Amino acid sequence: MGILTHFLIPLLLINFCAGSTNINCNVPSSWLSGNPTIQRSTSSSGQVPYVSGINFYNTYLWSKWPQGRVKYKLNATLTASDITEVRKAFNEYHTKTCIQFLPWEQGDVDFVSIERDDNTCGLAHVCKIGGYQFAQFGGGCRTMSTMVHELGHTLCLGHEHQREDRDDYVTYSGCHQVPTKYTNNHVPKGIYDYRSIMHYWCDANNACFGGRPLTPNVNNCGGAVTTGLSVFDVDGINSLYNCQGCTRHRWRPAQSLTQADRGNLHNFGHYSQDGNPLYPCRALYHGSVSVGTFDDATKSCRIYYAGVVSVTENVEVLTIPGGLSQSCYKYELVSRTTASPRTAIPAGSSNWDGWVRYIAYASKTLANGVTDKTFGTVSTYTQSSFTYSADMPSSSGIYYTLDYDVLSCRLDDECMRWNG
Ligand SMILES: [Zn+2]
């Protein structure tokens, strides 16, 4: 279909095909080759930083949705249950990002038509192309999960398993058709995200879809382990669209912190025994995201994994541009007993249990009377409370405690009353 298909990225018929060898699920190579994409924006301005493959300057074809507002129409092909799934997908974006899907109104030129097409699992135009465009799901793929994936394309996201550096994380060894790698090597990548909803399923039997994971403890990927957006997906979208409020925190690669990033680090009033400010970091290590304390001198993150380890690869540091309190959206440490996962800042998830990891802060008085302060990890799978002890990888070894604070962000009602 010429130019149209060039700008579409298909989702494989995963629901039909996972584990099956009877159905040919291969996507036409022309659809996968040379498809440009945007993986992650690391620009604090929220501008689309670089798009490779085709004309970078063609902002008409490759524009984001202004203010993250996407107008939509529900096509008549959708059943009532399809619409329920679509609304769940919208809700996933509305509760975790600043993206808004809003009903088309008279006079709106650019909009996405949400459609059912049983000839596809899922198919969507990439970015805002101008005028009519669609996000489709069909057949056995008419789920929230598929629609979250397709709407990710609508918002300019590409496939995680087609990142330029994916060969470090998955192998397509022995596959007769291998998804193309995007070569947008000007965009610094975040931590490789096996859990991204933009990653195809992957396991030993399904290796030619999303590849076989090369990281220990990672047994499957994408929609097989995440029904909605992963924590990294959320972080990436909020960065790409320069989301503010309680979605303005940004995790930055430890190896390439800029001056601006450094100005956005926050120690929450806490210092090491040597008097240096302490900053939280996260690392993907052996298939799980852990939170720890950043060491600027070595660019390492001190985490716990069967012992205290200083990790130097796949490390990101938390920055909060705009300060801890901005427009009444306040980042603060909240005592475990009153903290809620709904307002806590997630750091990532484990690839083996799927539990979400959050940022815990605790201090401990050492034998010599000195107070040792540390960032660590607390996990939960509920949305109601923090009931488990935190892993605290301190300078004097690991300890576990129920006496910790959780980094959270909330809308300050008092502030809103004064400032309207
Ligand atoms: Zn896709």
Residue 259: pLDDT above 50? yes
Residue 316: active-site member: no
Q: What confidence score (pLDDT) does residue 184 get? A: 54
Asked if 162 and 181 touch (Cβ cutoff 8 Å), the reply is yes
Quick one: average pLDDT of 25-42?
Answer: 33
Distances (CA, A) of 69 to 1, 94, 112, 243: 29, 11, 11, 12
Kindly indicate the confidence band of residue 28, based on its pLDDT and cuts at 50, 70 and 90: very low
Kindly indicate the confidence band of residue 42, based on its pLDDT and cuts at 50, 70 and 90: very low
Q: What confidence score (pLDDT) does residue 376 get? A: 96
Q: Ligand 1 centre and the CA of 154: distance in Å?
A: 10
Catalogue the long-range contacts made by 16-23 (C-beta closer than 8 Å, 24 or more residues apart).
16/121, 16/139, 16/140, 16/141, 17/209, 18/201, 18/206, 18/209, 18/224, 19/205, 19/206
Q: Specify whether 185 is located in the same domain as 308.
A: no
Dump pLDDT digits (tens) for 269-289.
888 888 889 999 999 999 889
Which range has highest mean pLDDT (5-19, 39-53, 144-158)? 144-158
Q: Specify whether 18 is located in the same domain as 67.
A: yes
Catalytic residue among 150, 164, 313, 414: 150
Dump pLDDT digits (tens) for 147-192.
999 999 888 888 888 888 899 999 998 888 788 887 654 455 689 9
Domain boundary among the residues 236, 261, 294 is at 236
Name the nearest CA neighbour of 69 among 116, 105, 38.
105
Q: Ligand 1 centre and the CA of 46: distance in Å?
A: 23
Q: Specify whether 196 is located in the same domain as 223.
A: yes
Q: Ligand 1 centre and the CA of 160: distance in Å?
A: 9
Domain boundary among the residues 190, 216, 236 is at 236
Looking at residue 197, its amino acid is I
Q: What confidence score (pLDDT) does residue 404 get? A: 97
Q: Specify whether 203 is located in the same domain as 338.
A: no
Number of domains present in the structure of the chain: 2
- The DSSP letter of residue 199 is S
Q: Ligand 1 centre and the CA of 24: distance in Å?
A: 17
Q: What confidence score (pLDDT) does residue 381 get? A: 85
Quick one: average pLDDT of 239-255?
Answer: 93
Q: Ligand 1 centre and the CA of 49: distance in Å?
A: 21
Q: What is the mean pLDDT of the chain?
A: 82
Q: Specify whether 68 is located in the same domain as 165.
A: yes
Q: Ligand 1 centre and the CA of 124: distance in Å?
A: 8
Quick one: average pLDDT of 302-327?
Answer: 94
Q: Ligand 1 centre and the CA of 84: distance in Å?
A: 21
Residue with the larger pLDDT of the pair 59 and 353: 353
Kindly indicate the confidence band of residue 332, based on its pLDDT and cuts at 50, 70 and 90: very high
Q: Specify whether 232 is located in the same domain as 362.
A: no
Residue 94 annotated as binding site: no
Q: Specify whether 38 is located in the same domain as 101.
A: yes
Residue 227: pLDDT above 90? no
Q: Ligand 1 centre and the CA of 325: distance in Å?
A: 37
Q: Specify whether 330 is located in the same domain as 256.
A: yes
The boundaries of the domain holding residue 84 are 3-236
Q: Ligand 1 centre and the CA of 285: distance in Å?
A: 27
Q: Specify whether 72 is located in the same domain as 124.
A: yes
Residue 149 annotated as binding site: yes
Q: Specify whether 223 is located in the same domain as 264.
A: no
Q: What confidence score (pLDDT) does residue 91 get? A: 98
Q: Specify whether 284 is located in the same domain as 305.
A: yes
Residue with the larger pLDDT of the pair 29 and 129: 129
Q: Is the pTM of this model over 0.95?
A: no
Asked if 8 and 125 touch (Cβ cutoff 8 Å), the reply is yes
Kindly indicate the confidence band of residue 206, based on its pLDDT and cuts at 50, 70 and 90: low
Domain boundary among the residues 236, 269, 288 is at 236
Residue 199 annotated as binding site: no
Look-up: residue for tokens 């040919």?
24
Asked if 134 and 114 touch (Cβ cutoff 8 Å), the reply is yes
Residue with the larger pLDDT of the pair 129 and 221: 221
CATH of the domain at 69: 3.40.390.10
CA-CA-CA-CA dihedral for 77, 83, 87, 90, to nearest 10: -20
Quick one: average pLDDT of 131-138?
Answer: 90
Residue 118: pLDDT above 60? yes
Q: Specify whether 21 is located in the same domain as 145.
A: yes
